Amino acid sequence: MKNLKYILMATVLLLLYSCKEEYYLYNDIKRIQFGPDITRIYTPSYNLADTLKSYIFFYESAAKQQDTLFFDIYAIGGVSNTDRSFKLEQVAVPGAENAVAGKHYKAFNDASLTSKYVIKSGAVHAKVPVVMLRDATLKTTTVTLKFQIAQNENFSTGEPANVWRKAIFTDRLSQPPAWDNSATLYYFGKYSVVKHNFFIEKTGQKWDNDFILAIRPDYALLTYWRGMVKVALVNYNLQNPGNPLTDEFGEIVVIP
């Protein structure tokens, strides 16, 4: 009985506490955090957009030995009359092939980049460049570069969910993020490098993330491209009787 009394009292206190709305105010110290593209900052559904970006060197010419991904970062707490640097640091991802500074990407403290990691005077937004290097090992591996904001003399870190970003890149053909579960189930079937190569060969399109994202909103256009590869696959199998297109897992390539 005593227990019931205490439980009820605790419930009352909890309810009283829950009536109070709590706000995390950012007017104490200057903070900095990542965010979506500047055109999306007032669209709540995009608050966690762009946490992950991927890149494939495979489509580029051999002359291209490095390329850059850009992330959006925002200072909180107003503008300043002076440029304010911010600091980034790599975070190891357990179980992943972590990118190596100087080998797979330019280190965040590389002299050529330090001037880029700055919120300019009078501004609250900057594009954060991450320079990927086309190391030979990327031909056989896909590396992950997770990085986060480190506190420095100008900024403390912002909302925990927005203090990190991740880049995944490789130099081999690999599954674009837009070829997701839904695309697998309804449009293109299970991903394989053989299938991806076949799509590229038969259509002249990259079938990379940008291409798939571009065709998905237009169902008629998506159906057109799906039809192109499906008809090409049927014709290939007809021209190779008893030897249908088979992927690297030993499975017959199928498009739903």
Partner 1 sequence: MKNKYLYIILIAGVLSSCFKDKGNYVYTEHEEITVTGIAASYDKISLVDRITIDPVVTSNKPGAEFKYWWGLYETSVQGAVPKVDTLLRTKAIDYLVVQPAKGWVLVFGAKNIKTGYTKIVTSNINVITQFTRGWYVAKTEAGKTDLDLYLTPTSAIPASKMENVFSMVNGKKLDGKAHTLRFYHDYKALTGTSFLNTRALFVVTDQDASVVNIGTIKEIRDFNALFYNAPAVKKPDIVTNGSAAFYFINNGKLHSIYNMSANSGQFGVQQMVNEYNADYKLSKFFYSAGFYDPYFFDELSSSFYSAGGASLQLTSVNSSATSKMPAKNNNKRLLYMGFKTTSQTFAVFQDKTNQNLKILSTITPSVSAMVILNDTLAASEKLYSATMHTLFNGDENMMYFVVGNQVWSRNLSNRFEQLQYTVPVDETISFICHRKYTVASDLAFNYNYVAVASKKGDSYNIRMFTKTSGNLNPIPAFTITGKGEAGDVMYISPSVYGSTYPNTL
Of 44, 217, 242, 250, which one interacts with partner 1 (CB under 8 A)? 217
- Min dist. Cβ of residue 192 to partner 1 (A): 20
Neighbouring CB atoms inside 10 A of 167's CB total: 20
3-class DSSP state of 138:
helix
Of 45-53, 123-131, 194-202, 214-222, which segment contacts partner 1 by CB under 8 A? Answer: 214-222
Of 25, 220, 242, 243, which one interacts with partner 1 (CB under 8 A)? 220
Dist CA 115 CA 109 (whole Å)? 10
φ, ψ dihedrals at 113, nearest 5°: -110, -20
For the sheet containing 142-150, what is the strand order? Answer: 52-56, 164-170, 142-150, 87-91
8 Å CB contact between 125 and 72 = yes
Q: Is 228 in the site for partner 1 (CB under 8 A)?
A: yes
- Min dist. Cβ of residue 223 to partner 1 (A): 5
- Min dist. Cβ of residue 175 to partner 1 (A): 23
Of residues 63 and 220, the one with the C-beta less far from partner 1: 220
What part of residues 122-161 is at the interface with partner 1 (CB under 8 A)?
Answer: none
Dist CA 247 CA 256 (whole Å)? 16
Dist CA 118 CA 135 (whole Å)? 27
Q: Is 213 in the site for partner 1 (CB under 8 A)?
A: no
- Min dist. Cβ of residue 222 to partner 1 (A): 9
Of 160, 219, 241, 243, which one interacts with partner 1 (CB under 8 A)? 219
Alpha helices (H) in 86-208, listed in sequence order:
181-183, 193-203
Strands (E), 97-230: 118-119, 125-133, 142-150, 156-157, 164-170
Of residues 19 and 136, the one with the C-beta less far from partner 1: 19
Dist CA 145 CA 71 (whole Å)? 13
Of 231, 246, 251, 252, which one interacts with partner 1 (CB under 8 A)? 231
- Min dist. Cβ of residue 221 to partner 1 (A): 7
Per CB under 8 A, residues contacting partner 1 are 1, 4-5, 8-9, 11-12, 15-16, 19, 217-221, 223-224, 226-228, 230-231, 234-235, 238
